[in-house]
Amino acid sequence: MSDPAPTTIATIAAEVGVSVPTVSKVLNGRPDVAPETRARIEAALEKHQYRRRRGRGARGAELVDLVIHDLGTAWAVEIIKGVEVVAASERVGVVLSDLGGEHRPRQEWLDDVLTRRPLGVIFVQSSLDAPQHRQLATRSIPCVVVDTAGEPPLGVP
């Protein structure tokens, strides 16, 4: 028996009753999709466990986002140094975000990340809520929480 065909954005579009470009807009984090439509598309993407193929030429610079609750500690500096060392050894750039004492990033930050499409996001003493996690997951952007502020959403390591 052969494996089922992979889910495509055309499959998702047909199921939700929208155009392929609309699904593409959601996958690319574009803001010009109605919230209800975005939610239906994200639910279908999650249901089918859709994962975007990551072609070599399809991205810009290889980046990882490092999100820290508060940069004003020696501990935070050590985390940054460690991430930089490992990232540099893999020729990956680090985008640093200071939440200024907040524990969850704002939607504007998330919109920027969805546009940037990093290899992943590392949250330090911070976290994200379930809808934010879903937005990252439906765009195949993995994340991990280190020393979490509360319980991370289900499925976040």
Q: What CATH number belongs to 63-146?
A: 3.40.50.2300
Q: Give tens-digit pLDDT for 81-137.
A: 999 999 998 889 999 998 888 888 888 889 889 888 899 999 988 878 888 888 888
Element (H, E) at 63: strand 63-68
The full set of domain ranges for the chain reads 9-48, 63-146
- CB atoms inside a 10 Å sphere around CB 59: 13
36 three-state secondary structure: helix
Residue 92: is it exposed, middle or buried by C-beta count within 10 angstroms (0-12/13-18/19+)? middle
To the question of pTM greater than 0.85 for the whole model, the response is no
Q: Give tens-digit pLDDT for 1-57.
A: 455 667 888 899 999 999 988 988 888 777 888 999 988 998 898 888 786 655 444
